[in-house]
Amino acid sequence: MPTITSSEGQSREATLGGAAAGAGYLLWGLSVIFYRQLANVVPFEILAHRTLWSILLVGALIFGLRRGAHLAELLRDRRKLATLAFTAMILGSNWWLFIWAVNSGRILETSLGYFINPLVSVLAGVLLLGERLSRPQISAMVLAIAGVSYFTISLGFLPWISLVLALSFAAYGYLRKITRVDALAGLLVEVLVMAPFALAYLAYASAHGGTSFVKAGWLTDLLLVATGPMTTLPLLLFTYGAQRIRLTTLGLLQYLVPTTSFIIAVWMYGEPLGHGQFVTFGFIWIGLAIFTADMWRKEREFRRAALPAQ
């Protein structure tokens, strides 16, 4: 049998990693179709079910993948637990707003938010970590600000859904990055923090008119249960891929999420893409192109500098 060289093995791992990360991002993008099927359910109830079913699935995965040691280590670290309690509130708010926006026919605004998110993350690095912006990054920031400003002036209102989604997800990503915990163990702690609120809401709703679960039919029940897998499966694929591919590749793949939801919003659900929105997205896309090209150039320079001298 032919032997597999180290380089061939690394190439195969990178290919599998890229496919996994891409599939995870694609699932996140397609999730707007999934949540749109639950438009007849109150967003708070969807969030509650997403939280509770995620606990069961993530707990089973931790047990099945033998990640119990990671969870035990995390539970002994009070500082990390306190941070995860805070990130749980950010994540829950982000989830709720996303669900509400999708079911309110405002998918384009969620798409805009996740297009803006990489630039907000860079800005967070400047403000919180003292990082310096390059000229291309400054140009990208200016274009993003111009796009949001044009949206506000031309349409007469601030795209608050886009901004809140971008800011909350950037804040969540920053805090999870500096906390450095196992992805599954961290997510389990976060949904456990949200669980009392989820149970309290379901108890209140049951006592005041009832919930959609069981009453709205088997398809709605199935979809509510499926919110658990729809939350954890993309995360698993993303985590597997992120460990095997370059950061630049991962950064490019993340645009699959807003691109997919943008296409779905316009061509599947017929959300209006007027002149104001089109110009806004144009500013953002040009800014992201500049930002991505700069990121790619820096990675190439870094890899070239890391090569041993010949």
Helix or strand (DSSP H, E) at 131: none
Band (307; pLDDT cuts 50, 70, 90): low
Answer whether 287's CB lies under 8 Å from 240's CB: no
pLDDT of residue 46: 96
Domain ranges of the chain: 22-306
The pLDDT tens digits of the residues spanning 56-99 come to 999 998 988 888 898 999 999 999 999 999 999 999 999 999 99
Taking 90 as the threshold, does the pLDDT of residue 260 lie above it?
Answer: yes
Answer whether 25's CB lies under 8 Å from 253's CB: yes
Band (125; pLDDT cuts 50, 70, 90): confident
> b/e map of 226-254 (b: 16 or more CB within 10 Å)?
bbbebbbbbbbbbbbbbebbeebbbbbbb
Q: What is the pTM of this model?
A: 0.87
Band (248; pLDDT cuts 50, 70, 90): low
pLDDT of residue 310: 47
Band (236; pLDDT cuts 50, 70, 90): confident
Helix or strand (DSSP H, E) at 290: helix 275-306
Band (1; pLDDT cuts 50, 70, 90): very low
Q: What percent of the chain has a predicted confidence (pLDDT) above 90? A: 45
pLDDT of residue 74: 92
Query: Among 4-13, 198-207, 278-287, which is the least confidently predicted range?
Result: 4-13
Highest mean pLDDT, choosing among 128-132, 148-152, 207-211, 212-216: 148-152
The pLDDT tens digits of the residues spanning 147-200 come to 889 888 888 888 999 999 999 988 888 888 788 888 889 999 999 999 999 999
pLDDT of residue 180: 82
Q: How far is residue 51's CA from residue 271's CA, in Å, rounded to a whole number? A: 29
| Cβ within 8 Å of residue 209, ≥6 positions away | none
